[in-house]
Structure 1
């Protein structure tokens, strides 16, 4: 994962890795499962945004409008998903 965001005050949820020759405790498995459920939703949204090619290719327009365009595409994705 990218740890640079933690320095900016964001809280990152990282799964707990299994140590060599030690299995994970049940609490750690539940924590990892919770993170996985959150992450899969975000990954699906990212993949849908990539179908509009705004995240999968180099953005060639004005930077000022990038956020606006991502928000518009996200609104379209939400509209499609929640019909």
Structure 2
């Protein structure tokens, strides 16, 4: 996570970042790294299925159990259903 993601759009674009997630995953893996994705609490688990079902899937999905960027939050136990659904998938 970053504080001001807008600050990174131009540098990442110049570095070759792409909106094509399949290409992005392949490029990350080609450099010996493991691509991953974080899923915010408000995002439906189904949104990540294409990333794990693809021919070249991400290596990890982080199911966030609090909203990013706010300290002192309580664990959101209903997020565990997303974890169970993803493991089942």
- Shorter-chain TM-score category? under 0.3
Which one has the bigger strand percentage? 2
Relative contact order (alpha carbons < 8 A, sep ≥ 6): 1 or 2 greater? 2
Which one has the bigger helix percentage? 1
Q: What TM-score results when the alignment is normalised by the length of structure 1?
A: 0.24
**Computing the radius of gyration over CA atoms, which structure comes out larger, 1 or 2?**
1
Q: What TM-score results when the alignment is normalised by the length of structure 2?
A: 0.23
